[in-house]
Each structure stands twice: as structure tokens, then as C-alpha cells.
């Protein structure tokens, strides 16, 4: 089956496949949300069903929870887990310091809560997500529905004084209606082009009334696993300062991945 994947999906697959090496028997594992994280959940499910791996998963969205149960992973809440050994998740962008933009899938709040409650955060991605400066991908900001248009105006006014290339904010839609997060909130996507100071941006956004959380993950990620379309995998550890490279072979077979929909 993997032989039928596009190069970008092959990159996602090999990153996900390598990332599950960070999971050990008995761990509480944070399960990310998004297309790349879905590959990882499937890989873990295969280990649970075929190799007897015993883990408990803490999902970051209802979508991930449903998929985890489908592939045989025991699902528990963060309150039940209390603390997490490792969280594995995707990213929309990452820079050389492993700072991230996340939230393209709309689960940034739960993703950030779970990631910060973890001993280690491992990010799985493809090489196209690396940037010199964050901001090319629209920055998601979760806001409460009450007064969201006022919050949007205040954010746009705030951006005038920030080191960014663009200042437009748009309400994320789901068809003809606003996209609603698992917590019942809305998402504003900020089209910034480039964020000069991501630390400052994250801080000032979260000080604004009406803002619940933003998609900047600063100093949270420990390891990024970068996949390439030819099967190469690069693992960067920000704490150890190491970079490891290897290659995964593709095997065409019908397995747990055969019905995966991104």
C-alpha cells in the first residue's frame, strides 16, 4: 500500500513510523491531531495489535480519540493520566529552534495542554514544513464566540505594532458556518507572512481578553522527526544537539493503513 503513496504522504509515513520508537511499554502517550499524527496513531495501533504493546493514549481531539479506539489503543483523559511520558504530534511549521506553528486542524488548545503536560514532545513532519522564520502558515488563534468580531479588530490593531509582514485576520469557516473547536470556540487565522519575534507574539496575544490560546508552540518541542519522500528520516534533538539520519524501506502490503483518510 505504501508504494501507492504520494511523496508527501511517504514523508509523513516514515516520520510517523520512526516516531513510535520513542514509545515504550507502559507509557502514557499524548496523541496528536492532523494527517501526519493520524499515521502515527495507526503505527501505534499496529504495535498494540500485533506486538502486544501496552500503552494508554491521551488524544488531543475527538477525531484522534475515535481513530485511537478504532485501531485498538486504550484511550484515557488527561485528568486520568495526570502526566504524560511522551506526546507525538504534527506541526504546520517549525524553525531551527524547533518552535512551531500548530492548529491547522483546529485542535491547538488541547494539543498545547497535552504537550506541556508531557516529559517529552516529539513532532513529526515533512521537510517542507521547515522555515527560517515562522509565519508563512496562518497563525491560528482560538477565541471565544462572544464578541469575536471585537477580538478580531483588537488583534488587527495590535499587529500594527508587531514585526510582521501582514496584518489580516480571518474567521475560520466550516462551509457556511464558523468552524467550532472541541471546546466550542472559534478560530481566527492571522495572515502574518513572517513573525519577527514569536515569543513576544505568543505572549501579547494571550494577554488579550477573548483570546483562549494561540498556535505558537515556543520552547515546547524536544525532538522533530523529519520525513522525506524517498524514505529518509532525520531526527533532531534540541536538548542533546544531535541530528541522526536513516532510511525506512517501503513494503507494499494491506494493513492498518489501507483505509486511512487524511
What one-character-per-residue DSSP string does 206-245 give?
HTSTTEEEESEE-S---EEEEE-TTSEEEEEETTTTEEEE
Residue 24: active-site member: no
**Collapsing DSSP states into helix, strand and coil, what is residue 17?**
helix
Q: According to the annotation, is 230 in a ligand binding site? A: no
Q: According to the annotation, is 125 in a ligand binding site? A: no
CB 122 within 8 A of CB 24: no
- For 94, phi then psi, to 5°, come to -145, 150
Cell readout for 244 is: 541522526
Q: According to the annotation, is 237 in a ligand binding site? A: no
Q: According to the annotation, is 152 in a ligand binding site? A: no
Catalytic residue among 93, 111, 142, 213: 111
Q: According to the annotation, is 35 in a ligand binding site? A: yes
Q: According to the annotation, is 105 in a ligand binding site? A: yes
What one-character-per-residue DSSP string does 129-192 give?
GB-SSTTSSPEEEEE-STTHHHHHHHHHHHHTTSSBS--EEEE-EETTEE---TTS-EEEEEE-
Q: According to the annotation, is 90 in a ligand binding site? A: yes
Q: According to the annotation, is 36 in a ligand binding site? A: yes
Q: According to the annotation, is 87 in a ligand binding site? A: no
Catalytic residues: 111
Binding-site residue positions for substrate: 33-36, 89-92, 102-105, 129
Binding-site residue positions: 33-36, 89-92, 102-105, 129
Amino acid at each position: 500500500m505504501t508504494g501507492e503513496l504520494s511523496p508527501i504522504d511517504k514523508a509523513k509515513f516514515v516520520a510517523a513510523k520512526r516516531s513510535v520508537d520513542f514509545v515504550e511499554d507502559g507509557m502514557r502517550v499524548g496523541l496528536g491531531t492532523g494527517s501526519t499524527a493520524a499515521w502515527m496513531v495507526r503505527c501505534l495501533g499496529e504495535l498494540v495489535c500485533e506486538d502486544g504493546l501496552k500503552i494508554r493514549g491521551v488524544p488531543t481531539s475527538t477525531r484522534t480519540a475515535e481513530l485511537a479506539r478504532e485501531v485498538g489503543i486504550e484511550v484515557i483523559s488527561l485528568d486520568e493520566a495526570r502526566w504524560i511520558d511522551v506526546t507525538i504530534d504534527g506541526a504546520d511549521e517549525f524553525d531551527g529552534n524547533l518552535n512551531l506553528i500548530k492548529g491547522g486542524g483546529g485542535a491547538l488548545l488541547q494539543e498545547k495542554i497535552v504537550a506541556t503536560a508531557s516529559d517529552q514532545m516529539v513532532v513529526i513532519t515533512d521537510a517542507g514544513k521547515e522555515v527560517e522564520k515562522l509565519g508563512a502558515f496562518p497563525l491560528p488563534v482560538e477565541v471565544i464566540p462572544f464578541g469575536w468580531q471585537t477580538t478580531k479588530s483588537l488583534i488587527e490593531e495590535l499587529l500594527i505594532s508587531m514585526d510582521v509582514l501582514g496584518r489580516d485576520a480571518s474567521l475560520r469557516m466550516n462551509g457556511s458556518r464558523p468552524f467550532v473547536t472541541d471546546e466550542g470556540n472559534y478560530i481566527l487565522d492571522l495572515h502574518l507572512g513572517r513573525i519577527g519575534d514569536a515569543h513576544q507574539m505568543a505572549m501579547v496575544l494571550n494577554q488579550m481578553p477573548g483570546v483562549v490560546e494561540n498556535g505558537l508552540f515556543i520552547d515546547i518541542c524536544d525532538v522533530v522527526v523529519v520525513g522525506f519522500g524517498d524514505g529518509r528520516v532525520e531526527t533532531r534533538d534540541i536538548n542533546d544537539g544531535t541530528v541522526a539520519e536513516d532510511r525506512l524501506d517501503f513494503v507494499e502490503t494491506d494493513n492498518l493503513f489501507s483505509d486511512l483518510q487524511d
